[in-house]
Structure 1
Amino acid sequence: MRVEDFFGVDVDLDEVLRWKEQGADIETILLGLRNMGCSMVACMSVFDASGLMPLSKAKIVVHNSRTWRDQYPENTAFQEDLGDILDRMDDDDRDVK
């Protein structure tokens, strides 16, 4: 049993792997994690930590999943805002030189 804390939710990574071995698809696993209280970011981290998939792939899979579809507009807007902030920070860094 490998229990880790993912943003305040204890998840047994071995149990997540058992779900997969028992035939659960990604959506079923995501729904189980969400029902446990995991956020989108926590789900991505669980997938990476358990070895189901690397973080870069987990981000795409979770963001575009049916399980998190209700959060898609808010998360897309957040990512766009974050991108704008990072772009401005990069521009500010160039202005300093």
Structure 2
Amino acid sequence: MKKFKIYRNYGCLSAEKRVKYTYGCEAATAVASDELIVSLPEKSKGWEVYETAAGGLAVESPWGMQYDINEVLAGDKEPQFRTWDNSGVRYITLKVWEN
């Protein structure tokens, strides 16, 4: 289970009333940010976080699509990966670890 750091950003432009999650750095327009350590939940069959050739992280879905983490990072109350397959939208809620 690979843990990685994301940011919970508050007051971002176009998202003032909800939080916005980012990977790699805080959102440029955030008024404030919290650092979170997250991982895929244990029951996330087929999902895999891996390191790219450039040294960043990406995620592979059970149906074989590969995504940059910022492409699929979503959620408001809790961080999630949001992706699409032939059946529609798929959400997987990330596990937040204590800092």
TM-score (norm 1): 0.21
Q: Please state which structure has a larger fraction of its residues in strand.
A: 2
Q: Please state which structure has a larger fraction of its residues in helix.
A: 1
Higher-RCO chain (CA-CA 8 Å, sequence separation at least 6): 2
Between structure 1 and structure 2, the one with the greater Rg is: 1
TM-score (norm 2): 0.21
